[in-house]
Structure 1
Amino acid sequence: MSDSRRASGQDGEVLALAHLQRQGLRLIARNWSCRAGELDLVMLEGDTVVFVEVRYRRHDAWGGALESIDARKRQKLIRAAQFFLLREQRWASHPSRFDVVALGASPDLNWIRNAFDG
């Protein structure tokens, strides 16, 4: 990935994190990695563990940020979340969900709660 694309993705994560924190979510982990993949943000809303995938697309020509989360990507996120809950036992008994924060060319941020089932 080029440095400019990586910077845009990181900038998107910073914007998403700030937005979610303003909405009352608390950060548990950022860019949490395991052999199954990476979780952009792991947050807590009430007692619910929220796995947040942040998607940034500069242009919609190849599909928007939401469309980029296909079945294969969802399965990767689910597996990574399972590893997270195995390693971080204190969160294993909490309810959990998968959210997506999509950012694009416009300044609008689109937060989709419970974007897909895990």
Structure 2
Amino acid sequence: MTDGRQRLGAVGEDIAADYLTTLGWRVCARNWRNRYGELDLIAREPDPVGGPDILVIVEVKTRRNGAVFDDPVAAVTEAKLERISRLAWMWVADRREAGELEYFEVIRYDVVSIRMDGRGGSPRLRHHRGVLD
């Protein structure tokens, strides 16, 4: 990946993490990786009715205007989602083995897609909830 794409991705992840925090979520991990891949954001969403938190694995896709896809979520393929799911369970297993994670009834997979306006305008963010069954 080029430095420009890495910088764009890092900016997008910062925007996504800030957005999730404004929703009252707690970001548990960023850019967790092992030899099989990387998870962008791992967060806890408070249950709106006071139940246990929901563990949410968030894939962040950031593109500049003029990119191939209108919404960057289109770049998240079924194969990518399967890899994210496998990585998520590896992360959960690692945290449980270390005694750092309790049981979660719900693990959800979301995508935050961000379109950057090259003319200095505000980024356009879309939150796609539950993209994997």
TM-score > 0.5 by shorter chain: yes
Structure 2, unpaired ranges of 5+: 47-52, 118-122
- Aligned to 1:50, which of 48, 56, 59? 56
Q: Deviation at 1:104?
A: 1.2
Alignment pair present for 1:68 and 2:75: yes
Relative to structure 1, is the Cα distance of residues 61 and 15 closer, same or farther in structure 2, using a 3 angstrom cutoff? closer
Q: Alpha-carbon deviations, 1:51-82, whole Å to 9, x = none?
A: 00000111454223111000111111011001
1:1-12 to 2 correspondence within 5 Å? 1-12=1-12
Which has the higher Rg, Structure 1 or Structure 2?
A: 2
Pairwise CA distance, 1:105: 3.3
How well do the aligned residues superpose, as a CA RMSD in angstroms?
Answer: 1.5
Equivalent position amino acid for 1:83 in 2 = M
Query: SS of the counterpart of 1:40?
Result: strand
**How far apart, CA to CA, are the structure 2 residues paired with 1:105 and 1:30?**
21
Whether 1:79 and 2:83 are equivalent positions in the alignment is no
Q: Which runs of 5+ in 1 are unaligned?
A: none
Which residue matches 2:38?
38
How many matched pairs?
117
Determine the structure 2 residue equivalent to 1:116. 132
- Provide the C-alpha distance between the structure 2 equivalents of 1:10 and 1:111, rounded to a whole number of angstroms: 17
Greater than 4 Å deviation, 4+ residue runs: none
* Greater alpha carbon shift after TM alignment, 39-48 vs 58-67: 58-67
SS of 2:129's equivalent in the other structure is strand
- Find the counterpart in structure 2 of residue 22 from structure 1: 22
Q: TM-score, normalised by structure 2?
A: 0.81
Q: Secondary structure at the match of 1:56?
A: strand
Q: What is the TM-score normalised by the length of structure 1? A: 0.91
Identity %: 34
Q: Which residue of 1 aligns with 2:50?
A: none
